[in-house]
Amino acid sequence: MVNPDRFLADLHKLRSFGAAGVGKGVVRPAYSEADVAARRWLADQMRAAGLQVAVDPMGNLFGLTEGPSLLLGSHSDSQPEGGWLDGALGVIAALEIARAARENDGPPVSVVSFQDEEGRFGVTTGSAVWSGHMSQRQADALTDHAGVPLSQARQVMADMVTGEVDPAQFTGFIEMHIEQGPTLDTSREKIGVVTDIVGIRDMKFTFEGQQNHAGTTPMPLRWDAFQAVSAFNTLLNERFQNVVTPQTVWTIGHVSLHPNASSIVPGRAVFSMQWRDADADRLQRMEQIIRETAQEVAVQRGMQLSYGPMLGLEPVAMDAGLQDALVQSARSIVPDSWRRMTSGALHDATNLSRLMPVAMLFVPSIDGISHAFEEDTCEADLVTGLKVLAQAVGLRR
């Protein structure tokens, strides 16, 4: 039987690594001091639970049981400003279930906390490398917004690395997560069984114009990189109208102006462009529109245009058998309070679906808020999720 008090205590303890901001906020980006300290603490908990700790060169942390096992988990890194549950919930639920399974002669369960799911360097970088979606060499060349290469950042965990971890020992993967959107909170349902995860594309763009004096440079003689980003955004929103659905999303979430001063016409703008949809063809059409629009703006406004590497993951379906196990469990624990749903957020489960059967379950997010300090879920709902997952993997209640 799982122990809800122990599970909640561990979840609060994990939050103490990088606790920040209002409410239950967390700042624990991949390879930061807080992230590495949290991984060392997690490794200790895994050992105490009788699991064998393994860390691969990316810093993905595993707690392994003997022989073939089901893998449970998620990630313990956070966004630059994140909440206490995104990723952490799935890792601590996995730890509690693996521990309870060993105490109660339950099924073999291993635990994982993937590294850099939140994309300091890429898109779900740790599980992308572990699953073979991206090579270590490709990943090492990625840089964060400050220009630090992943090859350098991951050295902070070098003393923890034990070697590669063979995926063949796992019979499947289940990731429990907060929904991070409004669906369950609005419907007042307790459990979401995920049917599929949308796809994503993510790219860096640079407009290079001419830095100049903000007082003396007449408007027609400016090559202002911010104005180019602004024009690009307006045009793109217009052009997407005939292509997108109400579920399609796109975001310019990071903009860096050079030199970023009030009295200087900015000469360079580097910005992120990310788009997500459940249909791979639509992602492709959007890419074409994005590239054409950026080109057009560059020509009209006298900008040099350059691109960073295009990162992405395809939309994927969850395994029918594992979904059924979650549905059976939800039906018996919260009979009228669950639904099947698509995940609009990305997860390590997408990468793992290349290797093994995968499934996911969601619990509600209060007011649908996530990737923000305000992210939260009622503790009773967290425990309901834990019990649904435990029963689905075959632990007695």
Binding residues vs Mn ion (CB under 5 A): 86-87
* CA gap 181, 66 in Å, rounded: 37
The alpha-helical segments, DSSP class H, found in the chain are 4-15, 33-48, 88-103, 125-130, 136-140, 150-153, 183-187, 225-240, 280-300, 320-333, 348-352, 379-392
* CA gap 276, 313 in Å, rounded: 9
> Which of Mn ion, ligand GLV, none is residue 244 near (CB under 5 to 8 Å by kind)?
none
* CA gap 367, 83 in Å, rounded: 13
- Minimum CB distance to ligand GLV, residue 122 (Å): 11
- Minimum CB distance to ligand GLV, residue 77 (Å): 10
Q: Which of 333, 345, 382, 386 binds ligand GLV (CB under 6 A)?
A: 345
Residue 65 or 350 having the CB closest to ligand GLV: 350
> Which of ligand GLV, Mn ion, none is residue 346 near (CB under 5 to 8 Å by kind)?
ligand GLV
- Minimum CB distance to ligand GLV, residue 343 (Å): 8
Is the link from the previous residue into 167 a cis peptide, with omega within 30 of 0? no
- Minimum CB distance to ligand GLV, residue 64 (Å): 25
Residue 290 or 345 having the CB closest to ligand GLV: 345
Residues numbered 135-194 forming contacts with ligand GLV, rule: CB under 6 A: none
Residue 22 DSSP one-character state: S
**Other beta carbons within 10 Å of 368:** 16
Count of residues near ligand GLV by CB under 6 A:
3
Measured between alpha carbons, how far is residue 244 from residues 47, 236, 238, 241, 252 in Å? 48, 12, 11, 6, 16
- Minimum CB distance to ligand GLV, residue 294 (Å): 22
Residues numbered 22-51 forming contacts with ligand GLV, rule: CB under 6 A: none
* CA gap 303, 301 in Å, rounded: 6
Query: Does 346 interact with ligand GLV (rule: CB under 6 A)?
Result: yes
First to last CA, the chain: 5
* CA gap 139, 133 in Å, rounded: 10
Residue 293 or 353 having the CB closest to Mn ion: 353
* CA gap 82, 149 in Å, rounded: 22
> Which of ligand GLV, Mn ion, none is residue 209 near (CB under 5 to 8 Å by kind)?
none
| Binding-residue pattern over the window 91 to 130 for ligand GLV, x denoting contact by CB under 6 A | ---------------------------x------------
Tokens matching residue 337: 């309070």
- Minimum CB distance to Mn ion, residue 310 (Å): 21
The answer to whether residues 343 and 178 touch, using CB atoms and an 8 Å cutoff, is no
- Minimum CB distance to Mn ion, residue 315 (Å): 17
- Minimum CB distance to ligand GLV, residue 202 (Å): 9
- SS3 at position 146: coil
The label of the residue with tokens 């003997």 reads: 66
* CA gap 257, 98 in Å, rounded: 47
| Binding-residue pattern over the window 216 to 245 for ligand GLV, x denoting contact by CB under 6 A | ------------------------------
Query: Does 286 interact with ligand GLV (rule: CB under 6 A)?
Result: no
Residues at the interface with ligand GLV (CB under 6 A):
118, 345-346
